[in-house]
Amino acid sequence: MTQGIRSGNLSPLAGSPTAEASGERRDLDAAAVVEAHADFVHSICRRLTRDTEEARELFQESFVRILNGLPAFREDASVRTWICQIVMNTDRNRRRWWSRFRRNFQAAEPAPGAAGEGPGLEPADRGAGPERAAMGAEARSRIESALAALPDDQRLAVVLRDVEGMSYEEIAAATGVEVGTVKSRIGRARAALRVRLADLVDRAKPEASR
């Protein structure tokens, strides 16, 4: 999954003064960057947030930052690591704001987590990803809720590894921790998921066993 995306679509923009000079060119490149990384950013955003609206906002905010940061992006760095860092920073800033907002204004409202909460805007955006084929919707939602039950750091690590196919080193760089920490987060996450999804795991065809 990592292969192919790395740098390829970014190179026209990164650090090139001529690209910056041409507004039209810039727009095209920006669109290409969005297209190339939308699925990856979407995947992280969904795992970092609790509802679709929140995920959508994080997604949009992250892309603004990604595109603004492109001129400063060094091509020797891993694109996904860099993008992941931006999304996580954006998320952190948002959470700071949200926590203050909740403290100030939502004291009287029902606790978060209730299904269907959120501003209820733009219902058309709810329910994502029409292109889900390989796995049944039910299994998918089981997996998602099992993921959601994990601590944030474990969830992110295991998603970046197993869903997004990043290496331990990339994940360590993206999340700002040691490789050893990444290993143990992934280990704990898999162990928890293996228990929580025991039936699915046991049903999965044992092609891997030797």
Q: Which of residues 36-55 bind another protein (CB under 8 A)?
A: 38-39, 41-43, 46
Among 6, 69, 77, 117, binds another protein (CB under 8 A): 69
- 3-class secondary structure per residue, 22-48: CHHHHHHHHHHHHHHHHHHHHHHHHHH
Q: Which is nearer to another protein, 38 or 149 (CB)?
A: 38
* Of the candidate residues 11, 50, 64, 178, the single one contacting another protein (CB under 8 A): 64
Which residue, 7 or 145, has its beta carbon nearer to another protein? Answer: 145
Site membership for another protein, residue 112 (CB under 8 A): no
Q: From its phi and psi, is residue 79 left (phi > 0), alpha (psi between -120 and 50) or beta?
A: alpha
Out of 79, 82, 161, 175, the only residue in the binding site for another protein (CB under 8 A) is 161
| H helical segments located in 70-167 | 79-105, 137-148, 152-158
Pairwise CA distance, residues 82 & 74, whole Å: 9
Residues 6+ apart with CB under 8 A from 101: none
Binding mask 118-157 for another protein (x = CB under 8 A): -xxx--xx--xxxxx-xx---xx--xx--x----------
